[in-house]
């Protein structure tokens, strides 16, 4: 029974991804995002549980990638797909062709997420840091952005072309050759940028909670979601900057 515990946790991640996808297609962005977060919780513990029990194996690795592809690839793609059906379209795209075709471009995110996961499985460089944006961070960004800022995203200030270009940028970030933080170790001497990022994230979430609580138009949930989206953006920027800094090996 012991050897099946990590796989059960991984399957919980997969089920969360399926529920998140269903909710996303039915415009339930907030519930979808919560299940993406719950899936990330299970994803965090499945590998650690396997190592703690001494039952790591290839089956668990493959199952983990499949679950991640659903929770962190298909689910955010479904959220973007639904958003494309509600977002404003600029005048040069105001035709039946774009209304029908553009939503399906959202599944590029799922394809690039699968490619990212496949590369991770065979890349020996990613033991202590990621090369490219990890799929959970990408999914949390989109889940937080869409569920917390839907009114702004579907307003005339934003449109389908911006959404498409923004999505393409994140597809590239998933597979780019840019080192990004992995939090497998945290030492102030060796990992100052990571520690600084963690501190700034706490401040951002606290600030988002305060803004949401004090601003009834925004609400606590939206405030936290917007802070989480900014935090992921900060993660990308700080990772890129840190990749150019000299490494402290002491």
pLDDT tens for 228-238 read 999 999 999 99
- Ranges 57-66, 119-128, 136-145, 208-217: which has the least confidence: 119-128
Looking at the DSSP bridge assignments, the partners of residue 179 are: 131
Residue 148 has pLDDT above 90, yes or no: yes
pLDDT at 3: 75
pLDDT at 202: 93
In eight-state DSSP terms, residue 95 is S
Residue 130 — φ and ψ, nearest 5°? -90, 150
Q: Give the per-residue pLDDT at 250.
A: 46
Q: What is the pLDDT of residue 212?
A: 87
3-state helix vs strand vs coil in the chain, percent to 5: 75, 0, 25
Q: What's the confidence (pLDDT) of residue 141?
A: 97
Alpha-carbon distance of 219 to 222, in angstroms, equals: 6
Architecture per CATH, domain 2-180, reads as Up-down Bundle (1.20)
147 and 30 in contact (C-beta within 8 Å)?
A: yes
Task: Kindly state the DSSP code that residue 179 receives in the 8-state scheme.
Answer: E
φ, ψ of residue 180 to 5 degrees: the values are: -135, 155
In the chain, ranges of CATH 1.20.120.1760 domains: 2-180
For residue 219, CA distances in Å to 48, 142, 208 come to 35, 19, 10
Q: How far is CA 157 from CA 27, 150, 152, 230, in A?
A: 21, 12, 7, 19
Whole-angstrom distance between the N-terminal and C-terminal Cα of the chain? 43
What confidence tier does 214 reach under pLDDT thresholds 50, 70, 90? confident
pLDDT tens digits, one per residue of 61-115: 889 999 999 999 999 999 999 999 999 999 999 899 999 999 999 999 999 999 9
- Copy the structure tokens of residue 103: 């939503």
- The beta-strand segments (E) located in 98-220 are 130-131, 179-180
Handedness of CA 155, 109, 172, 120 (dihedral sign): positive
pLDDT band at 248 (very low <50, low <70, confident <90, very high): low
């Amino acid at each position: 029974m012991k050897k099946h515990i990590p796989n059960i946790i991984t399957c919980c991640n997969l089920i969360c991804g399926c529920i998140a996808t269903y909710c996303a297609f039915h415009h339930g962005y907030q519930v979808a995002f919560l299940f993406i977060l719950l899936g990330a919780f299970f994803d965090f513990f499945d590998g650690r549980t396997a190592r703690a029990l001494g039952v790591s194996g290839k089956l668990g690795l493959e199952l983990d990638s499949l679950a991640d592809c659903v929770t962190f690839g298909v689910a955010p793609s479904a959220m973007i797909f639904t958003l494309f059906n509600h977002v404003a379209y600029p005048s040069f795209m105001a035709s039946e062709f774009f209304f029908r075709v553009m939503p399906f471009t959202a599944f590029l995110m799922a394809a690039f997420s699968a490619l990212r996961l496949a590369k991770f499985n065979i890349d020996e460089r990613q033991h202590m840091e990621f090369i490219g944006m990890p799929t959970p961070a990408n999914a949390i960004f989109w889940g937080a952005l869409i569920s917390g800022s839907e009114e702004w995203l579907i307003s005339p200030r934003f449109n389908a072309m911006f959404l498409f270009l923004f999505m393409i940028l994140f597809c590239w970030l998933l597979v780019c050759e840019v080192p990004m933080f992995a939090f497998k170790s945290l030492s102030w001497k060796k990992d100052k940028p990571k520690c600084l990022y963690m501190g700034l994230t706490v401040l951002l979430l606290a600030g988002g909670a305060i803004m949401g609580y004090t601003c009834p138009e925004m609400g606590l949930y939206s405030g936290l979601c917007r802070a989480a989206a900014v935090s992921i953006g900060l993660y990308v920027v700080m990772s890129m900057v840190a990749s150019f800094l000299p490494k402290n090996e002491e």
